[in-house]
Structure 1
Amino acid sequence: MRLQDYWGIGPKTSERLVEALGTERAVEAIESADVRALVDAGLHRGRATRILRRANGEAGMDVLATGDARSVYDDLLGLAADAALTAHAADRIRVLTPLLDRDAVEERLDRVVAARDAWSGLDEADREAVADAFAAYDEADGSDLAAVETAVALREAGLTDGPFADVGALDGDRLRDAADALADVRGSIDPAGDLGGEDIEIASGADAELDRLREQLSAARDLADSAFDVLESVRDGSLRDFEALEAATIEHVARETEVDPATVRSAAPDEALDAA
């Protein structure tokens, strides 16, 4: 689907979204009502909200036939959004549209009531713990680590059933392991495996094997930047042919980088061309 097929997205907005997110990610953000993604791409929050409402509930919005009706509806959602614990939750509230199906209306209401009852059942200390966890989530711009730490906080506060059943189904030990691992990750990990154009970086000291490979890579790059020095190091009067020179070079590279000689040999070119 073309971005300009969505209500409120013209050529300039489409160009901005493609430049910031790419077409596929922009469409995904619209279809999933991701306000933050559109705002981060440069759209005003109010405009992003209107676009997402139309994209995900146009029939419901048509029920609000007058400007006054839409204004009252916006005010109601604004009041609800003001009570949200996170900016993300507030955004999700603001993009809600009227439902036309009675069963869907009752299901949404049941979820809201269940969440209210779960919150009312917490003591003051647990409420503060949950609020602090969600505040940290917002401050971290909804990072992967913040999401995991929020889930841990919810479990520790006893929010594991009703609207929080998905959190309750998670393994607590694995969540803590994930938090420890993500603390060393820089960048966002897409569940689908798409890095979205961003590099994922693992901090030094997080994994011994990765650190070893980094050191080998650094040593190999140093050798690549000083190829003539390498040649001088391995060349002596006993090297009479190319095979001997190649073997000596592989041995030297393996020794300097601590890479297995077989690995070095497999990366070596089959033939050497003298461009001089």
Structure 2
Amino acid sequence: MSKEVIEEGQTHGKDYVDPPPAPLFDVAEFKLWSFYRALIAEFIATLLFLYITVATVIGHKKKQDACGGVGLLGIAWAFGGMIFVLVYCTAGISGGHINPAVTFGLLLARKVTLIRAVSYMVAQCLGAICGVGLVKAFMKPYYNSLGGGANTVASGYSTGTALGAEIIGTFVLVYTVFSATDPKRSARDSHIPVLAPLPIGFAVFMVHLATIPITGTGINPARSFGAAVIINDKKAWDDHWIFWVGPFAGALAAAVYHQFILRAAAMKALGSFRSHPSN
């Protein structure tokens, strides 16, 4: 018996079934306190994420002249570590998205409704604006002169290169989210739900190591939008489209790859069709 068949049997032995897809529209969500609680959680989590990470960026740039600061490695740890902490804290309340690209990927996979996805994105963007606003309020003497943590295309790189970096970086993140939260793996390996925030945080960390020199690393439209709104200069807005198109394209690719290739959703649908021939 092949390993795949054994694993399938073990999974079925734990009564695993694919959860039904979320409805596209579910107006009943507006009547649930859990829906508004999740929006608050996404808002606060994104606020904290932007406050800590952008403050780290500004602090690093402030001390660069004195050969100090945390360095690019420290910045990457700040982003990855905060995602680990915040996903751990909010996963049971809102799912711990903290990123419109993650929300978009889960919408495409029918894990959340369209109403919840759009509401999450609005909450995330508002939280990001407030988080960066706090950084500016606390570090005002240095905020504007040091770039405000805004994402821009670094000198020497083309917009095409920056867009590609954002697509691949977001693909890595959203693919990790799908893999770490896969209900089939959760049914087979009980430790998976507990460990899920760790690989997600590490994915953010690794992507930052690779793409900070190119774009400052977006892979999160709310993060880029919040910083652009508060700094509000021409360069940040000129490049800003990259930090929406890239992450959303990367999330789309990750959703298709995980759902239709790794989880074989298309083959399952075809098999179901063949097993119920028309009369």
Q: TM-score, normalised by structure 1?
A: 0.25
Largest Rg, 1 or 2 = 1
- Bigger relative contact order, structure 1 or 2 (CA pairs below 8 A, ≥6 apart): 2
- The structure where helix makes up a greater share of residues is 2
